[in-house]
């Protein structure tokens, strides 16, 4: 074991500068254990001080706890000071007065982190407008533009486990920040030597503005109006908030839009930072929708709507007669993000289409089906890098463009431009409307998926990922990508690789900035490979497109077999 003395010195220095008695006590206990030679304590301390929690385009996200590699008041104060510096440097005349909209969810310490953010901003002369949270992330994204704020901060870890928290930052357009803003803020954070030197205003400082219900009211009114068929509201909705903050706002939006109240999963409808019924509160996770499916089947519902804890993602399940009766859990089918995205787009295209200048967009790891649908409708389509920060930047405002609809396969959807970010609430309204409209015709969303397959081919998508362990995990991920880049496979599962797109230098013609992404193209298939941006994982996204032919069931079976074979082949190549 290396000499722990330098580590202990850094830990004691951090402890002396920590403004929070909770994390001071926590860190002091770890230091005391490490001093007497507790190996686990030394390892814990080493991880806590492995580096400063990195500020990037996703802001901050990590486990709550003491030390620079955790989410805590000291790290949040630094981040807020960095944001204040960025605003003052970027727009010294108007930025501080336009201020920052600040909101938070119901996770552990979220309110504390939001209050500390407001205090730091106000002390720096930047107006902090604090929303009456806890509230969904889409409300904060809406508020930035509604208030003409210079920026927005949302304290949330979205669908991460209960031990985590995070910090999303938006620019004045209401979109998540991208380069170079992230680097400017990160540089300002790095320039802060001591947290104790960062000023903090009192909670009653005039530059801390406590907002009333007006912003939420405006969001509810806008969200309730996103549909195309206001007379199509006859639908029975089952709903789970996944222990998050979506329920209260979603209820109001549904009522304002004219829907009946949903049946709610009682165990999951109120905010609970411990997420007692779901260890990983993500609608995509196996088992996460079990209680929702049980309610949907028992209540005779037509659709199950699920939000992640900050309600920016949407999960959907629908009855599937092929699987059994809708009154049993086995008779329900959970839709993929790609299926939900195609269905939302199909409904919007079928009922009014899009105004001039509207652009459809999805990410490079999502299905190519939306692009085919856009082409058939004569609409511009843009493929972006992963993340909604890119989807909302797909249109060119100088050319009079705006986002008509955008989605990513990870259950993120943006209907129209009410919010310049993913919004699970507005997407749920439009999906529920589509279920009601189809029911009036004696049809279901599964019928629409069949129609799309017959016209555009069966588009089947799947994922494979591999976690890399160890302190050098990120470096080893780079080695894996470099190896694949240097020697891409000539064929996979009997399909020749016809082209390889390497986006490490970007693709100016397609408007894609540099990214560590490889795309392997094959006849009727493609595989996108990239390292995760938030954890040490290598991720592969596989898509197969199979002509429907005369028998849709046979075509789907062929696509499923091909998807399984390609997934196995790329996994074997990378492990």
pLDDT at residue number 191:
94
- Is there a contact between 319 and 302 (Cβ–Cβ < 8 Å)? yes
State pLDDT tens for residues 317-373.
999 999 999 999 999 999 999 999 999 999 999 999 999 999 999 999 999 999 999
Whether 245 and 380 share a structural domain: yes
- Please provide the DSSP assignment of 320-351 as one string: -TTT--TTSGGGEEEPPHHHHHHHHHHHHHHT
pLDDT at residue number 111:
98
Q: Please report which confidence band the pLDDT of residue 449 belongs to, taking 50, 70 and 90 as the band edges.
A: very high
Q: How many independent structural domains does the chain possess?
A: 4
Mean pLDDT value across the chain: 95
Cross-strand partners of 84: none
Whether 198 and 230 share a structural domain: no
pLDDT at residue number 471:
67
87, containing H or E segment: helix 73-90
Whether 462 and 553 share a structural domain: yes
Q: What mean pLDDT comes out for the span 480-484?
A: 91
Whether 326 and 452 share a structural domain: yes
Helix ranges restricted to H, 357-460:
369-377, 388-391, 424-440, 445-456
Whether 250 and 365 share a structural domain: yes
Whether 101 and 173 share a structural domain: yes
Q: What mean pLDDT comes out for the span 236-261?
A: 98
Retrieve residue 211's tokens.
Answer: 């907002």
Which residues in 510-528 are b (16+ Cβ under 10 Å) and which e?
eebeebbbbbbebeebbbb
Query: Angle between the 73-90 and 110-123 helix axes, to the nearest 10 degrees?
Result: 40
Retrieve residue 185's tokens.
Answer: 């803020």
Asked which of 421, 456, 491 is the last residue of a domain, the reply is 456
Asked which of 212, 236, 259 is the last residue of a domain, the reply is 212
Q: What mean pLDDT comes out for the span 113-128?
A: 98
Strand order in the sheet with 458-467: 458-467, 537-546, 525-531, 518-522, 495-502, 491-492
* Cα 88 from Cα 84, distance rounded (Å): 6
Whether 114 and 161 share a structural domain: yes
Whether 223 and 261 share a structural domain: yes
pLDDT at residue number 534:
66
pLDDT at residue number 497:
97
Q: What mean pLDDT comes out for the span 94-104?
A: 98
Domain that residue 395 falls in:
215-456
By DSSP bridging, strand 518-522 and strand 525-531 are antiparallel
Q: Which residues are catalytic?
A: 158
Which residues in 399-430 are b (16+ Cβ under 10 Å) and which e?
eebbbbbbbbbbbbbbbbbbbbbbbbbbbbbb
Give the end-to-end CA distance of the chain in Å, rounded to a whole number: 31
- Please provide the DSSP assignment of 20-81 as one string: -HHHHHHHHHHHHHHHTT-HHHHHHHHHHTSSPPPPBTTBEEEEBSSSTTSBSHHHHHHHHH
Contacts of 551 (CB under 8 A, 6+ apart): none
| CA 485 distance to own-chain centroid | 28
Retrieve residue 6's tokens.
Answer: 């330098």
Whether 45 and 93 share a structural domain: no
| % the chain with pLDDT above 70 | 99
Q: What mean pLDDT comes out for the span 252-277?
A: 98
| % the chain with pLDDT above 90 | 90
pLDDT at 430 over 70: yes
pTM exceeding the 0.85 threshold for the entire prediction: yes
- Is there a contact between 121 and 100 (Cβ–Cβ < 8 Å)? yes
Q: What mean pLDDT comes out for the span 437-459?
A: 98
Asked which of 189, 212, 235 is the last residue of a domain, the reply is 212
* Cα 559 from Cα 191, distance rounded (Å): 54
* Cα 83 from Cα 220, distance rounded (Å): 29
- Is there a contact between 435 and 302 (Cβ–Cβ < 8 Å)? yes
Whether 533 and 450 share a structural domain: no
Whether 204 and 240 share a structural domain: no
Whether 468 and 451 share a structural domain: no
**Running DSSP on this structure, what letter comes out for residue 8?**
H
């Amino acid at each position: 074991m290396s000499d722990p003395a330098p580590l202990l010195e850094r830990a004691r220095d951090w402890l002396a500068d920590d403004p929070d008695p909770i994390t001071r006590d926590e860190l002091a206990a770890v230091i005391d254990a490490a001093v007497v030679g507790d190996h686990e304590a030394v390892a814990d301390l080493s991880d806590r001080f492995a580096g400063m929690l990195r500020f990037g385009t996703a802001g901050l996200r990590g486990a709550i706890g003491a030390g620079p590699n955790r989410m805590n008041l000291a790290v949040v104060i630094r981040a807020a000071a960095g944001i204040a510096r960025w605003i003052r440097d970027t727009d010294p005349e108007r930025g501080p007065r336009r201020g920052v909209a600040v909101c938070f969810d119901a996770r552990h310490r979220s309110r504390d982190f939001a209050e500390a953010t407001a205090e730091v901003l106000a002390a720096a002369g930047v107006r902090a407008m604090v929303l009456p949270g806890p509230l969904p992330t889409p409300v904060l994204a809406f508020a930035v533009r509604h208030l003409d704020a210079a920026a927005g901060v949302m304290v949330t870890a979205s669908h991460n486990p209960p031990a985590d928290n995070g910090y999303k930052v938006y620019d004045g357009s209401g979109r998540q920040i991208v380069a170079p803003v992230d680097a400017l803020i990160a540089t300002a954070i790095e320039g802060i030597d001591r947290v104790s030197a960062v000023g903090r205003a009192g909670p009653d400082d005039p530059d801390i503005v406590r907002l009333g219900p007006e912003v939420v009211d405006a969001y509810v009114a806008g969200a309730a109006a996103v549909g195309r068929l206001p007379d199509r509201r006859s639908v029975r909705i089952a709903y789970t908030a996944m222990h998050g903050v979506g329920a209260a706002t979603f209820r109001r939006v549904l009522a304002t839009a004219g829907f009946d109240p949903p049946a709610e999963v009682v165990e999951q409808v109120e905010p609970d930072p411990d997420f007692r019924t779901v260890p990983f509160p993500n609608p995509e996770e196996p088992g996460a929708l079990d209680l929702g499916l049980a309610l949907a089947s028992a209540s005779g519902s037509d659709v199950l709507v699920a939000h992640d804890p900050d309600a920016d993602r949407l999960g959907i399940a629908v009855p599937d007669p092929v699987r059994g009766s809708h009154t049993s859990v086995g008779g329900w089918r959970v839709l993929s993000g790609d299926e939900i995205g195609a269905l939302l787009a199909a409904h919007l295209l079928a009922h009014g289409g899009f105004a001039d200048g509207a652009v459809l967009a999805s990410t490079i790891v999502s299905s190519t089906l939306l692009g085919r649908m856009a082409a058939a409708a004569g609409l511009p389509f843009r493929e972006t890098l992963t993340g909604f920060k890119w989807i909302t930047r797909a249109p060119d405002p100088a050319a009079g463009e705006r986002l008509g609809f955008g989605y990513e396969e990870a259950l993120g959807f943006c209907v129209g431009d009410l919010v310049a970010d993913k919004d699970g609430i507005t997407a749920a309204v439009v999906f529920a409307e589509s279920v009601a409209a189809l029911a009036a015709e004696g049809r279901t969303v599964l019928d629409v998926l069949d129609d799309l397959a017959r016209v555009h081919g069966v588009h089947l998508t799947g994922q494979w990922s591999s976690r890399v362990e160890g302190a050098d995990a990120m470096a080893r991920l780079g080695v894996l990508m470099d190896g694949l880049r240097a020697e891409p496979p000539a064929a996979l599962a009997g399909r020749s690789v016809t082209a390889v797109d390497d986006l490490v230098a970007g693709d100016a013609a397609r408007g894609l900035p540099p990214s560590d992404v490889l795309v392997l193209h094959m006849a009727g298939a493609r595989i996108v490979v990239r390292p995760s941006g938030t954890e040490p994982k290598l991720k592969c996204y596989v898509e197969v497109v199979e002509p429907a032919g005369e028998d849709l069931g046979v075509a789907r079976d062929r696509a499923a077999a091909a998807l399984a074979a390609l997934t196995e082949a790329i996994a074997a190549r990378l492990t």
